[in-house]
Amino acid sequence: MARFSAVCHLRIRKEEQNSLRILRITRSDLNDWQALALRLWPNHSPEEMETILSGILESPKEEGFLVRDDAGEAIAFMNLSLRYDYVPGATRSPVAYIEGIYVKEACRKQGIATRLIRYAEQWALDKQCTELASDAVIENTDSQNFHIQMGFHEVERVVAFIKQIQLTTDTKEMQDTGKQS
């Protein structure tokens, strides 16, 4: 029987898919998790990402999961959270939320992300949630299509804005005196 390796050159047979392990991330997994997370979110520095991931490890509302192949190589991850604030389309709180899901490019289209979504569904049910939510940037049509294939339905599209403003002497004085304009 051919072994499944992290290079993922071979298609995963059904029996080999069962050898993939989805593991709750611990501090000892931080380097592997960070390497994969930086592929999903390349605009973060390694230091920023380490801070974010360490925060997840310490949070009672968040968990990270790593997929390792039968050789122990990290090939995918998923970050989950319980959101108590507004989640578009949600009818209850808290909502289980997929904060990030990533599979190494060479390992895609082999059922790994599907297994992660199924795992997230069970995680949500274990946390007494009846809804699982996620998001994707507008440009990422592959992610949008995957979500639809997994049974998610689109609930809104958003264009976010920000404007840089400066605190002037006048606005500082108003803040200090409690006055509003």
Domain regions of the chain by residue span: 14-156
With bands split at pLDDT 50, 70 and 90, how would you rate the model's confidence at 171? low
Q: How far apart are the first and last CA of the chain?
A: 74
pLDDT above 60 (res 77): yes
Can you tell me which residue has the tokens 């949600």? Answer: 90
Phi, psi of 91 (to 5 degrees): -110, -5
Mean pLDDT confidence for 51-67: 98
- CATH of region 14-156: 3.40.630.30
* Least-confidence region, from 12-16, 90-94, 96-100, 128-132: 12-16
> DSSP secondary-structure letter at 102?
E
pLDDT above 80 (res 137): yes
Q: Does residue 73 contact residue 93 with C-beta atoms inside 8 Å?
A: no
Mean pLDDT confidence for 33-40: 98
Can you tell me which residue has the tokens 């801070």? Answer: 51
Q: From CA 87, how far away is CA 10, in angstroms rounded?
A: 39
Mean pLDDT confidence for 1-28: 63
Strand partners of residue 74: 68
With bands split at pLDDT 50, 70 and 90, how would you rate the model's confidence at 15? very low
Buried b (16+ CB within 10 A) or exposed e, 135-152: bbeeeeeeebebbeebeb
Q: List CB contacts of 3: < 8 A, sequence separation 6 or more.
A: 16, 70, 71
Instruction: For the chain, give the mean pLDDT.
Output: 89
Report the largest interatomic distance among the alpha carbons of the chain, rounded to a whole angstrom.
Answer: 76
Mean pLDDT confidence for 132-150: 96
Q: From CA 96, how far away is CA 3, in angstroms rounded?
A: 34
